[in-house]
Amino acid sequence: AQRVTQPEKLLSVFKGAPVELKCNYSYSGSPELFWYVQYSRQRLQLLLRHISRESIKGFTADLNKGETSFHLKKPFAQEEDSAMYYCAPLSGGSNYKLTFGKGTLLTVNP
């Protein structure tokens, strides 16, 4: 069965510390993967997609096909990074349906 797992519901770090939000997937083929973020009182929005290989707000995510992982990383966390983060693959064979993980709530303490 196709599944996306974010093993940590909560993650708390101090400002300036590195942060890694984990995402593992079990999908056939080569799914396209995304990270979405929801800041407090704001709507859900796209943070980054793996095919663009870009860094957004200092975050990067590397697709590891061997480990079927797509972890989100930032070397120095900021307080404004505190938010809910969702990993979302495009469902196998679909070019339109995102399946969201349960999310990780990141808190960056001063």
Q: Could you tell me which of 33, 13, 32, 5 has the C-alpha nearest to residue 83? A: 13
Q: Is 96 in the site for another protein (CB under 8 A)?
A: yes
The tokens describing 84, both together, are: 């809910």
Q: Is 49 in the site for another protein (CB under 8 A)?
A: yes
Instruction: Identify the residue among 45, 64, 78, 109 touching another protein (CB under 8 A).
Output: 45
Q: Could you tell me which of 68, 69, 70 has the C-alpha nearest to residue 59? A: 70
Q: Which of the 8 DSSP states describes residue 56?
A: B
The identity of residue 107, as a single letter, is T
Residue among 33 and 77 whose Cβ is closer to another protein? 33
Residue among 33 and 108 whose Cβ is closer to another protein? 33
Q: Tell the smallest beta-carbon distance from residue 38 to another protein (Å).
A: 9
Q: Is 88 in the site for another protein (CB under 8 A)?
A: yes
Q: How many helices (H) and strands (E) does the chain have?
A: 0, 10
Binding footprint of another protein on the chain (CB under 8 A): 9, 32, 34, 43-46, 49, 86, 88, 90, 95-103
